[in-house]
Chain A
Amino acid sequence: MARAVTTQRKAINTTIAWAIGLLIFFPILWTILTSFKTEGEAVANPPVFLFFDWTLENYAVVQERSNYMRFLWNSIIIAGGSTLLGILVAVPAAWSMAFVPSKRTKDILLWMLSTKMLPAVGVLYPIYLLCIELGVLDSRAALVVILMLINLPIIVWMLYTYFREIPGEILEAARMDGAGLKEELLYILTPMAVPGIASTLLLNFILAWNEAFWTLNLTAVDAAPLTAFIASYSSPEGLFFAKLSAASTMAIAPILILGWFSQKQLVRGLTFGAVK
């Protein structure tokens, strides 16, 4: 039987949880607040928190100067495309590792993860040259494939962990009832793993949305996503913090809203396996 928790202890825990939550959220909150300030107020010393002349001017300037919708659309295509493609590749891979493991499976899993340890800049030139050769520089297709490959180890790992939770007996039963590999994957495994696949999808979408090395280095005009949109408002000579904050807020708003609505799935995905 679980230990009873006193009201006082509950209150303390809640307060601590809120404090940590606010601390983590504070930089985002500050960015959002700054986006409504004038450039002067944005750098005021001491900083002003809430009592300033709220203005939408920065948003108007950003909207006028940049084609936000083009950047947004590129972000959606690149993040969405790489996520879907990643899932298509990762589901069969994770299935084989979870249900038909060989003695090398663990090594392969570790090796896959080790590819994440290479600093991206180490392969910038080879990838750039490949893109030139294939004529896909500044194209969404190239970024979809590259971001898919970058995030693939994480997707496979997450799905592998989910699939391992599903009892092999269920699949055996399905096979005895005459299900082939296709039916087994489509009608048995996938529906049972929907929560896991959903949280993997979400996490991968967020990772791809925020990716700022390849998306900046392989794009110019046509495929530039929101990361390039933010980078265009950072200035070495001149104070444009309020406009930069407005651009950042516009860039993170869609993913923030998505995260807000899907937080249950995300939390489940991220804490999966922690308690059994």
Chain B
Amino acid sequence: MSLKTVLRASGAAALCAIASAATAQDTTITIATVNNGDMIRMQGYTDLFTEQTGIAVEWVTLEENVLRQRVTTDITTNGGQFDIMTIGMYETPIWGANGWLVPLDGLSDEYDVDDLLPAMRAGLSHDGTLYAAPFYGESSMIMYRTDLMEAAGLEMPDAPTWQFIREAAAAMDDPENGVNGVCLRGKPGWGEGGAFITVTGNSFGARWFDEDWNAQFDQPEWAEALNFYVNLMNDYGPDGYENNGFNENLSLFQQGLCGMWIDATVAASFVTNPEESEVADSVGFALAPNSEGVERRSNWLWAWALAIPAGTQQADAALQFIEWATSREYIELVAENEGWANVPPGARTSLYETPEYQDVPFAQMTLDSILAADPTNPTVDPVPYVGIQFVAIPEFAGIATEVSQEFAAAYAGQQTVEEALERAQDITNEAMEAAGYR
């Protein structure tokens, strides 16, 4: 770590520290978070924050679904167990609207809130007020094997169509050597296979609801999207793909068993890391595909963000931590110690203007994917909701989990695509009626 970086990081924290030095001493804040690589890295640096501010930090790290249940229980009951919560783009606007989060309008000038990527800032706000600061952001994109693509005599365009993906999958599929043409998520769950099939639907012009909150699974766009996905995966995907989520596909890709993988941009640093990946030297990136003639692509938008629950007694100390952890100085601190490829991506515009980061192979494609995502216009036709791979209403998680289970049953051959869509239509309409939307 260079002296310059230490001074910069110290400077940012020191500014905050001076502001509330008298109260900060002996303060301890509790942060609930998930076990993702970037979060773990952040935990390693918190001693530095404590040294500079006198604020001690206790971490509660939980599995994503457990965390969601845990923090939801706490915030709805005003339990006050956590001073900072790691939440996503789905929860933030809903919780902000309910008054469960402290608005982040006290951020200092040095923090430079305008440097946050506009898509991230918009997704983490409600009525123009920011309720969570993005720690890292992601979209989705295609990761592909450049060597297999070359051997197949094909060239991946920067912005391919689903039809090209099928052609390339057919060319790279090599069952004798265990190589699957393409690996995609199929695992049930609104955030797993549910998210993937929702964005695939968007790229075929399908949508969850019309403007009157009527389910749209009976429309031809959904039939086209789901049939395309099922045929593609049955022909060129791995066996049992209905059980594969992010981690399963990551493992397959890293072992050289997938020609292409379309998933979160954050995976790029895993698949290009020679210590973890057998194919680190031969990975290329492209924008997530769309169906020919459809304007929208199948890339999503997500951020893991830090928010302050309204029940906390330590809002000032919590805000200090959020400023530190999501600052430019923190990014530089990580870059200095662990390399630019390992900094938390997708949160700040200035990161993508940094020359050193522009040399990282997946940086530009990550930014392009994030910029191509528009949560207010996720698909071709207008929708009454915000969100790309989700619908930002509280009922969505339950409905989408059930719908994704029906789809997974179709992937597994337990029912036809038509039956799955019919059931999805009924499930969604019934739930929306019960919730009073229709």
Q: How far apart are B244's CB and chain A's nearest CB, in angstroms? A: 12
Which residue numbers of A lie inside 8 Å of B, CB to CB?
Answer: 39-40, 43-45, 65, 124-125, 128-129, 132, 137-138, 216-217, 220-221, 224, 228, 231-240
CA distance A194 to B267 in the complex (A): 57
A44-B255, A45-B252 given as contacts; is B36 within 8 A of A237 (CB)? Answer: yes
B162 / chain A contacts, CB cutoff of 8 Å: none
- Interface members, chain B 61-80 (any A CB < 8 Å): 61-64, 66, 69-70, 73-74, 77-80
The 10 A-B pairs at the shortest CB distance, nearest first, are namely A232-B61, A234-B63, A43-B251, A236-B64, A235-B35, A220-B81, A221-B58, A238-B37, A231-B63, A237-B36
Closest CB in chain A relative to B242 CB, distance in Å? 18
Contact with A along B9-44 (1 / 0, CB 8 A): 000000000000000000000101011110010010
Whole-angstrom CA separation of A228 from B59 in the bound complex: 12
- Which residues on the A side are within 8 Å of B36 (C-beta)? 235-238
Complex partner residue of A124 from B43, B73, B250, CB under 8 angstroms:
B73
Q: Which residue of A lies closest to B251 (CB)?
A: A43
Q: How far is the CA of A215 from the CA of B64 in the complex (A)?
A: 16
Q: What are 24 A-B contacts defined by CB distance under 8 Å?
A: A43-B251, A44-B255, A45-B178, A45-B255, A65-B43, A124-B73, A128-B73, A129-B77, A137-B79, A216-B66, A220-B82, A221-B30, A228-B62, A231-B61, A231-B66, A232-B35, A234-B64, A235-B37, A236-B64, A236-B247, A237-B36, A237-B37, A239-B251, A239-B270
A52 CB to nearest chain B CB (Å): 15
- Whether the pair A45, B30 counts as a contact (CB closer than 8 A) is no
A40-B276, A221-B58 known; A235-B34 Cβ under 8 A:
yes
Cβ A125 vs Cβ B247 within 8 A: no
Beyond A65-B40, A237-B246, 14 extra complex contacts between A and B, CB < 8 Å: A40-B254, A45-B252, A132-B79, A216-B70, A221-B60, A224-B60, A236-B247, A237-B36, A237-B264, A237-B267, A238-B35, A238-B247, A239-B251, A239-B276
Q: In the bound complex, do residue A236 and residue B252 qualify as a contact, i.e. CB atoms below 8 Å apart?
A: no
- Per-residue 0/1 for B177-215: is the Cβ within 8 Å of any A Cβ (1 yes, 0 no)? 010000000000001000000000000000000000000
Q: Is the pair B276, A128 in contact by a Cβ cutoff of 8 Å?
A: no
Decide if B257 is an interface residue (CB 8 Å cutoff): yes
Nearest A residue to B36, CB-CB? A237
For the side of the interface on B, what is the size category?
Answer: 35 or more
B421 within 8 A of A: no
Smallest CB gap from A61: residue in B? B40
**A124→B74 CA distance, assembly (Å):** 11
Knowing A234-B35, A235-B247, A237-B264 touch, does A217 contact B70 (C-beta < 8 A)?
yes
If A124-B73, A220-B81 touch, whether A43 touches B255 (CB-CB below 8 Å) is: yes
Cα–Cα, bound, A129→B82 (Å) = 16
Q: Which residues of B contact A40 (CB under 8 A)?
A: 254, 276
B residues in contact with A132, CB < 8 Å: 77-80
Any A CB within 8 A of the CB of B101? no
Q: How far is the CB of B348 from chain A (nearest CB, A)?
A: 20
- Measured between C-beta atoms, what is the minimum distance from A55 to chain B in Å? 13
A65-B40, A65-B43 known; A236 vs B255 contact (CB < 8 Å): no
Question: Do the beta carbons of A45 and B58 come within 8 Å of each other?
Answer: no
B79 near A240: Cβ-Cβ < 8 Å = no
The listed residue (B35, B77, B250) touching A233 by CB distance below 8 A is B35
Closest to A229 in B: B61
Most B-side CB within 10 Å, residue of A40, A221, A234, A237:
A237
Instruction: Tell me, in angstroms, the Cα distance from A260 to B165 when the chains sit together.
Output: 55
State whether the Cβ of B89 lies closer than 8 Å to any Cβ in chain A.
no
Q: Which of B62, B255, B257 makes the CB contact (< 8 A) with A232?
A: B62
Q: Is B408 interfacial (CB-CB < 8 Å)?
A: no
CB-based contact B43/A216 at 8 Å: no
Q: Which of B112-161 contact A (CB under 8 A)?
A: none
Is the pair A125, B77 in contact by a Cβ cutoff of 8 Å? yes
Which residues of A have CB within 8 Å of B178?
45
Most chain A CB atoms below 10 A, which of B34, B61, B178, B257: B61
- Out of A45, A128, A234, A239, which one reaches B250, CB within 8 Å? A239
* A231 to B68 Cα, complex, angstroms: 13
* Interface hub of A39, A221, A238, A239 (most chain B Cβ within 10 A): A238
Closest chain B residue, CB of each to CB of A121: B69
The residues of B that contact A65 with a CB separation of less than 8 Å are 40, 43
Q: Is B247 touching A216 in the complex (CB atoms < 8 A)?
A: no
How far, in Å, is A211 (CB) from chain B's closest CB?
Answer: 14
Q: Least Cβ distance of A139 to chain B in Å?
A: 11
B247 adjacent to A220 (CB under 8 Å): no
**Bound: A65/B33 CA distance, A:** 14
Rounded to whole angstroms, the CA-CA distance of A39 and B427 in the bound complex is 40
Complex CA gap A105/B245 in Å reads: 51
Question: Chain B 362-406, CB within 8 Å of chain A: the 1/0 string?
Answer: 000000000000000000000000000000000000000000000
A240 to B82, CA, bound (A): 25
List of A residues within 8 angstroms of B262 by Cβ: none
CA distance A221 to B37 in the complex (A): 21
Q: A234-B35, A236-B246 are in contact. Are A138 and B267 (CB under 8 A)?
A: no
B322 at the interface (CB under 8 A from A): no
Least distance between B353 CB and chain A CB atoms (Å): 26
CB of A250 to closest CB in B, whole Å: 15
Can you name the residue of chain B whose Cβ is closest to the Cβ of A124?
B73
Contacting pair A137 B247 (CB below 8 A): no
* Residues in A whose Cβ lies below 8 Å from that of B74: 128
Cα(A168)–Cα(B416), bound, Å:
65
Pairwise interchain contact B63-A236, C-beta atoms closer than 8 A: yes
Q: In the assembled complex, which residues on chain B have CB atoms less than 8 Å from the CB atom of A228?
A: 60, 62
Residue from B60, B77, B257, B266 in contact with A220 in the complex, judged by beta carbons closer than 8 Å: B60
A125 to B73, CA, bound (A): 7
Question: Which residues from A are CB-within-8-Å of B64?
Answer: 234, 236
Q: How far is the CA of A39 from the CA of B275 in the complex (A)?
A: 10
Q: Which residue of A lies closest to B63 (CB)?
A: A234
Contact between B257 and A45, CB atoms less than 8 A apart: yes
CB neighbours (8 Å) of A124 from chain B are 73
Q: In the complex, which residues of chain A have a beta carbon less than 8 angstroms from the beta carbon of B81?
A: 137-138, 220
Across the interface, name the chain A residue whose C-beta is closest to B252: A45
Contact residues in A for B62 (Cβ distance below 8 Å): 216, 228, 231-232
